[in-house]
Amino acid sequence: MNNFDATPFAPERLKSYEAGMKSRWLNRKLQLNASIYYYDYDDFQASNLYLVGSRPVITYSNADARNFGQEVEAVILPTGRDRLRLSVLHMQTKILSDLIINPTPVRAVNIRGDDMTHSPHWTIKGGYSHDFDLFDGRLSPQVDIRYVSSQKVTPNPDPVSRQGAYATGDLLLGWVRDGYTVTAYVKNVNDRSVVRFYAANQLYVAAPRTYGVTFGASF
């Protein structure tokens, strides 16, 4: 039951279907993985936070929806010291029944036929690492990159609630010896601003460029 207007909402039910395969080729130097899934939502719960005057209000609504996707992943080991990774995910989502969203108290909108939130059509990731011998241990620099196509971050139709396509990456430098690990990292290396959520006239963004060093030990 919504606290704001006492309208009821139902529990969400999901039927999921998934299939996949893993394989190794070229004397185990190439690994290929593939998967496909279909998610069938009954009474998918969509939440929306907006302002009534200066008061934030959150409401929950139900709608039928679907999520269909395929992913292919490749891991290549050209030498004993090099590792290449690439994955491609394609996703198609759709809200199948009426879903009334109220970005403001005076503007109700039916978003039937829209994409579900946080469902980019394309996500592409790649990475490379190489191992060096150093001080009786293993030094491993690594670079990871990713591209994510545009997506809605909240169900309401305001243009600001859509995050455009973006690309970013991470850098890591790890050293391992006798169970001890030291890792230096830079995440979101190009300092890309990525919107995660929009509500009550406020944007919530992911972490900016961050960097640091971690230490670990196993016994």
Q: What confidence tens digit (pLDDT) does each residue in 92-138 have?
A: 999 999 988 765 555 778 899 999 999 999 999 999 999 999 999 99
Statement: residue 211 has pLDDT above 80: yes
Distance CA 31, CA 74 (A): 6
The model's pLDDT over 64-98, given as tens digits with 9 standing for 90+, comes to 999 999 999 999 999 999 999 999 999 999 999 99
Work out how many domains the chain is built from and give that number: 1
Distance CA 173, CA 92 (A): 36
Distance CA 21, CA 35 (A): 6
Report if residue 78 sits inside a domain: yes
pLDDT for residue 4: 61
- Quick one: tokens of 134? 């150093």
Report if residue 26 sits inside a domain: yes
Report if residue 96 sits inside a domain: yes
Residue 84's CATH number: 2.40.170.20
Report if residue 3 sits inside a domain: no
- Quick one: tokens of 114? 């829209």
φ/ψ of residue 159, rounded to 5: -55, -30
Report if residue 59 sits inside a domain: yes
Report if residue 45 sits inside a domain: yes
CA 17 to chain centre: 20
pLDDT for residue 9: 81
Provide the domain limits for residue 49: 13-217
Report if residue 7 sits inside a domain: no
Report if residue 2 sits inside a domain: no
| pTM, rounded to two decimals | 0.89
